[in-house]
Structure 1
Amino acid sequence: MKKKSFNIKNIAKISGFGVSTVSRVINNHPDVSDKTREKILKVIKEYNYIPNNSARNLKKTETNNIGLLVKGIYNPFFSEIVQIIENRINEAGYSMIIHYKYSDINDIGSAIQFIKEKRLKGLIYLGGDFNHEDDEQLKYIDTPIVITSPNIIEEVYRKTFSSIVIENEESAYDAVNYLIELGHKDIGVIAAEIKGNSIGELRLNGYKRALKENDIEILEDYIKVGDFTFESGFREMNKLLDDRRDISAVFSVSDIMAIGAAKAILKRGLKIPEDISIIGFDGIEYSHYFHPSISTIEQPKEQFAHKSIDILIDLIDKKIEHQHIVLDTKLLKRKSCKHI
């Protein structure tokens, strides 16, 4: 079969699936099983097929637009980064198009669709999760992508995008170890999204490692799971207090949930930090102005923003190859933790 005559019908025939199914895979529709998608992508790779309506379109970038794709709209941590990025994009002479993604389904598919629809010059993705299943799709994209503050699994073919991350497990370990240094042993945790190598799981792993290395027993009823909202922090803290009234400290894997948890503690007539110490994660502005101000692990928001746009523009100008940067976090000791 000559390469010039190779088309979507050939892919369908070789893979054993219908033309419509192959088309849905090429266009990154979510309504295709992982097994089917894998088989079709394998054929596409084997025959070096370049889909007319996906990869080729991505190469014909004619706009001056840089896209900003944000996973979730409710996290003020991202809103502070967005403002800096927008200013930098404008200063560099580009236009910014922002899109918020609410679903947890198919992060890479959302990125590709956004690039294709808006014919983007480059893309910054705040908060997406990419894994090894995305390798084949990423290889078809010439548009530069910078993924900021996500969890990126090491097996991903990382020559196809740039990333700026933190060490989630190590930073969570530092937070819990600080509580232990203050004399706390009965330490609860409000976790989130406990699934294969997610940010929530990595931060929970840091909690567990700190307890283990200090010979403190890990108890399942000390572990509650929220969903990165004020409401879930409030709800799970109440469950924690109902199950374990002996706790002296709580680690929340986000400041948003830490504020919700603090509200639950205060509503029960307990005092922070006199009765219960609490520490969060992210370093959002709200945590500073809460009373008492909440101790937290501060992520370097300004560095995330500036490095994201610096790398993206250099990639657009073909000055550099893809970069992968790990930034340091900082423990902010405030009024919500005390020595016992």
Structure 2
Amino acid sequence: MNIKDIARLSGVGVSTVSRVLNNHTDVKESTRKKVLEVIKESNYIPNNSARILKQNNTNNIGVLVKGVFNPFFSEMVNVIGKNISKSRYTMVLQQNDFTFGDDFETLQSFIKEKRLQGVICLGVNFESVSKDSVNSLEVPVVLTSANFKLGESGYSSVGIDNIESAYKATKYLIELGHKNIAVMIGEENDIGISWNRLKGYKKALEESGIPFNADNMLVGDYKSEEAYKVMMEFIKNNKDITAVFSISDIMAIGIAKAIVDSGLKIGEDISLVGFDGLDISKFYNPGITTMKQPKVLMAEKSTNLLLELLNGKLEHEHIVLNTELVKRASCKYIKRG
């Protein structure tokens, strides 16, 4: 949706809409009211710097992050920033952890306010965004490690197959002889990454003839501290659990400490698999098995893709990268019962 669309829906000229947006007095009150109603109904975000933008376009590329405190995204932002600095563009970073409104609205405001030429979005949720809204984007957007509808042509994406990766992680535990496997997701009502990784977990159980037990589904809120508290309580009431699949390494660290503080041994008593491939999982003692995402490659692909879109060298595309199960001492074979 742009100023021309507003003018068409209002039945007035573009110049009239511009005068309304700039609060000029030479507009009839009835016309002003009609234009403002169309703007409200269309969720149009006016760009008060439009005139300046025409005269002096910026070279700003935005990076919108939902989960800025997640080390996984922090490392990616570092790579993206270095790559952008090598181009003629400047990176503008904005977090969306505490912003009111949905991610798409925040993106629209971010583009308008900072006069961005393009945006890389990390961790955002576009699952419920309509096709018309996507088509209203006036600059190229690349979604990275995000939730979105497959097949959309209004933006590009770089990510992994979360369902298949979680399936492989859970399947590994089953192959080691485990049947009573708990899973820790990030958010109970998350329809994106948590839900897809839970699907992969369930798929592996079902394929192996192991019934899904809802009591074995834990919620850690993507935080080590919360994961620790939840796991401590869970161990008290579930002495027969032999393995845990955590959908993030951050939560896996909390789970690992809970296992130790409960007087148990990681690997010997309870096997543990994390997800992301953060460096901290390697240096924990014992090292934590994890499904590694190619975060550096994801960051590089995202930046290069956006720059090529800005240069008009290609159309939008969706890139799916491979993950790797990194096996460490946190998992042990047990005899099948």
Q: Using structure 1 for the length normalisation, give the TM-score.
A: 0.84
Query: Match for residue 84 of structure 1?
Result: 79
Distance in 1 of aligned mates of 2:249 and 2:136: 38
Query: Match for residue 332 of structure 1?
Result: 326
Distance in 2 of aligned mates of 1:260 and 1:58: 50
The 3 A distance-change label for structure 1 pair 215 and 91 is: same
**Secondary structure at 1:193's aligned position in 2?**
coil
**Secondary structure at 2:68's aligned position in 1?**
coil
Query: Match for residue 48 of structure 1?
Result: none
How far is 1:11 from its partner? 10
Aligned with residue 127 of structure 1, among 98, 123, 132: 123
Report the AA paired with residue 332 of structure 1.
Answer: V
How do 1:236-255 and structure 2 match up within 5 A? 236-255=230-249
Distance in 2 of aligned mates of 1:57 and 1:234: 53
**Secondary structure at 1:337's aligned position in 2?**
coil
Aligned with residue 318 of structure 1, among 306, 309, 312: 312
How far is 1:2 from its partner? 4.7
The 3 A distance-change label for structure 1 pair 57 and 326 is: farther
Give yes or no for contact 2:47–2:112 (8 Å, CA) kept in 1: no
Give yes or no for contact 1:58–1:142 (8 Å, CA) kept in 2: no
Aligned with residue 63 of structure 1, among 58, 67, 70: 58
How far is 1:325 from its partner? 0.8
- The reply on whether 1:286 has 2:280 as its aligned counterpart is yes
The 3 A distance-change label for structure 1 pair 57 and 258 is: farther
The 3 A distance-change label for structure 1 pair 190 and 132 is: closer
Give yes or no for contact 2:47–2:113 (8 Å, CA) kept in 1: no
How do 1:85-104 and structure 2 match up within 5 A? 85-103=80-98
How far is 1:135 from its partner? 2.8
Distance in 1 of aligned mates of 2:320 and 2:328: 25
Distance in 1 of aligned mates of 2:211 and 2:275: 23
The 3 A distance-change label for structure 1 pair 21 and 160 is: closer
Report the AA paired with residue 19 of structure 1.
Answer: E
Report the AA paired with residue 146 of structure 2.
Answer: P
Q: How many residues align?
A: 311
Distance in 1 of aligned mates of 2:233 and 2:130: 38
Report the AA paired with residue 285 of structure 1.
Answer: D
The 3 A distance-change label for structure 1 pair 57 and 22 is: farther
**Secondary structure at 1:184's aligned position in 2?**
coil
1:59-111 deviation line (CA, Å, top 9, x unaligned): 84711111111112221001111111111111112211111111374101111
Give yes or no for contact 2:266–2:330 (8 Å, CA) kept in 1: yes
The 3 A distance-change label for structure 1 pair 183 and 118 is: same
- The reply on whether 1:169 has 2:163 as its aligned counterpart is yes
How far is 1:232 from its partner? 1.6
Aligned with residue 266 of structure 1, among 256, 260, 265: 260
Give yes or no for contact 2:235–2:262 (8 Å, CA) kept in 1: no
Distance in 1 of aligned mates of 2:178 and 2:139: 49
Distance in 2 of aligned mates of 1:312 and 1:73: 20
Report the AA paired with residue 37 of structure 2.
Answer: V
**Secondary structure at 2:269's aligned position in 1?**
coil
The 3 A distance-change label for structure 1 pair 180 and 54 is: farther
**Secondary structure at 2:43's aligned position in 1?**
helix
- The reply on whether 1:4 has 2:10 as its aligned counterpart is no
**Secondary structure at 1:133's aligned position in 2?**
coil
Cα RMSD between the aligned structures? 2.6
Distance in 2 of aligned mates of 1:11 and 1:140: 23
How far is 1:149 from its partner? 0.6
Distance in 2 of aligned mates of 1:151 and 1:121: 22
Deviating above 4 A after TM superposition, structure 1's stretches of 4 or more consecutive aligned residues are: 5-14, 54-61
Distance in 2 of aligned mates of 1:328 and 1:55: 42
Query: Match for residue 4 of structure 2?
Result: none
Distance in 1 of aligned mates of 2:51 and 2:239: 59
Report the AA paired with residue 116 of structure 1.
Answer: K
Distance in 2 of aligned mates of 1:83 and 1:58: 31
Unaligned 5+ residue runs, structure 2?
A: 1-9, 21-29
Give yes or no for contact 1:57–1:116 (8 Å, CA) kept in 2: no
Distance in 1 of aligned mates of 2:33 and 2:271: 60
Distance in 1 of aligned mates of 2:48 and 2:164: 39
Give yes or no for contact 1:252–1:281 (8 Å, CA) kept in 2: yes
Unaligned 5+ residue runs, structure 1?
A: 28-51
Report the AA paired with residue 181 of structure 2.
Answer: I
Give yes or no for contact 2:182–2:217 (8 Å, CA) kept in 1: yes
Report the AA paired with residue 82 of structure 1.
Answer: V
- The reply on whether 1:198 has 2:192 as its aligned counterpart is yes
The 3 A distance-change label for structure 1 pair 215 and 127 is: same
The 3 A distance-change label for structure 1 pair 301 and 273 is: same
The 3 A distance-change label for structure 1 pair 72 and 196 is: closer
Query: Match for residue 118 of structure 1?
Result: 114
The 3 A distance-change label for structure 1 pair 24 and 136 is: closer
